[in-house]
Amino acid sequence: MKTHEVQQNSSLGHGVKSAIIGGAVGYAAKYALPLTSQEMDSDYKHIINLIKKNAVKAKGDFFNEIKDIPTRSLAHDTYINSAKKFAKHNICAYNHALKKIRPASPFVIAGAITGLVGSFVYNVFKTDV
């Protein structure tokens, strides 16, 4: 009967690495997860409506000025396309700003704990032959 040497490898380093990776993933989740209903309160809806209203007003004023021009230049067409994207771009920027002011600690802690649990499960169920 053969015997194999039992190695005394510590899994502490593996757990620390897993916690650090989990924390980094948690921090990335701060920006990746969509806004919650708590963050989309009445102030949020008011700002979004204000952005949309100003975009429609700016677009409408310019369209009224150029609608009588028989041939539009490339600059006119480019501005029309950019005016259509104006509201969408500003809404995305506002959403990113709201995500940026979120506290990072809950995301980092949840990610680190998930990394530690994953490391523990990996070490318990691994089979070395």
pLDDT tens for the chain, 129 residues: list them.
665 555 555 667 788 899 999 999 999 999 999 999 998 999 999 998 988 888 777 777 777 777 667 777 787 777 777 777 887 888 898 999 999 999 999 999 999 999 999 988 887 887 765
> Considering the entire predicted model, what is its pTM?
0.65
77 vs 35: CA distance, rounded Å: 34
Q: Where is 82: in which H helix or E strand?
A: helix 74-100
Provide the 8-state DSSP code for 37. T
